[in-house]
Amino acid sequence: MAQHDQLHRYLFENFAVRGELVTVSDTWQQIMEHHDYPAPVKTILGELLVATSLLTATLKFDGDITVQLQGDGPMNLAVINGNNNQQMRGVARYKGEIPADADLKTLVGNGYLVITITPAEGERYQGVVGLEGDTLAACLEDYFLRSEQLPTRLFIRTGDVEGKPVAGGMLLQVLPAQDAQADDFNHLAALTETIKAEELLTLPANDVLWRLYHEEEVTLYDPQNVEFKCTCSRERCADALRTLPDEEVNSIIADEGEIDMNCDYCGNHYVFNSMDIAEIRNNASPADPQVH
């Protein structure tokens, strides 16, 4: 069986092309855990999670990447945020009834794919492309064509394995500053495109690569674990409260007796009472976390 929640990098010995393969199960489930998403929204979040993991692995720096879909459709936002350690979190917002067979265009309507790259050191970069393709993979290929000028193909599959949702994907990309022949790249892409969801989601990575590329020489590197991790904290909530006008905070405390801050990503609640607010204003650290 495949070991899920792992990202594998691989390299073709005879072509200037590299590849990545990722499958996610627990990470995807944890992102969905505190939300009652309709099936099409769950699927899009799984595809976004796979895509973000694959994109993060193409970056050569420490930092974050955020991949989001936004539009005027019933799902006006879907976002996955990840980093170079393959720590992921995500959320979607939708309204109204979502048809069970809704595709990307139906969900997002007129919209955009926004990719924001935030290195730990250096300039923040944002790329925006309209949703021209019918699938997330096609839209991302369009993004790479416009922004990176590196031929790139993505293949994303979702399904269930032993009753659990599993998503997986593969990425092929011409190596920068290398003269890969278009015919070679197209040949490898055509082979990769034949991957069945069942194979990608259930077989170990080396078996998948053997099935696809058994006539090629491929080096598979050690995998990197993918995991759900939220960056929310009591300290961050306290920092946010410091930016609000005192009157606004006082008003909420007077009406509610406390301020309850909820994290959309992981479902944690951070509760602050009037004594906590006084400590925040005195720049003392907030009292011990009250997390439900």
Q: What is the mean pLDDT of the chain?
A: 91
Closest CA to 206 of 44, 33, 3: 3
What end-to-end distance do the CA atoms of the chain give, in Å? 36
Classified by CATH at the fold level, domain 234-281 comes out as CBS domain Like (3.90.1280)
**pLDDT tens, residue by residue, 212-245:** 999 999 999 999 999 999 999 999 999 999 999 9
Please state the CATH superfamily assignment of the domain spanning residues 6-228 in this structure.
Hsp33 domain (3.55.30.10)
The domain spans of the chain are: 6-228, 234-281
pLDDT at 286 over 80: no
**pLDDT tens, residue by residue, 87-101:** 999 999 999 999 999
Q: What is residue 6's predicted lDDT score, i.e. its pLDDT?
A: 97
Q: To which residue do tokens 């994290």 refer?
A: 263
- The helix (run of H) or strand (run of E) holding residue 242 is helix 234-242
258 residue type, one letter = E
Kindly report the number of other CB atoms within 10 A of residue 123's CB atom: 7
Percentage of the residues of the chain whose pLDDT score is greater than 70: 95
The whole-angstrom separation of Cα 134 and Cα 255 is 48
Mean pLDDT computed over 200-221: 96
Q: What is residue 157's predicted lDDT score, i.e. its pLDDT?
A: 96
pTM: 0.88
Of the two residues 145 and 227, the one the predictor is more confident about is 227
Considering only the C-alpha atoms of the chain, give the largest distance between any 2 of them, rounded to a whole number of Å.
Answer: 71
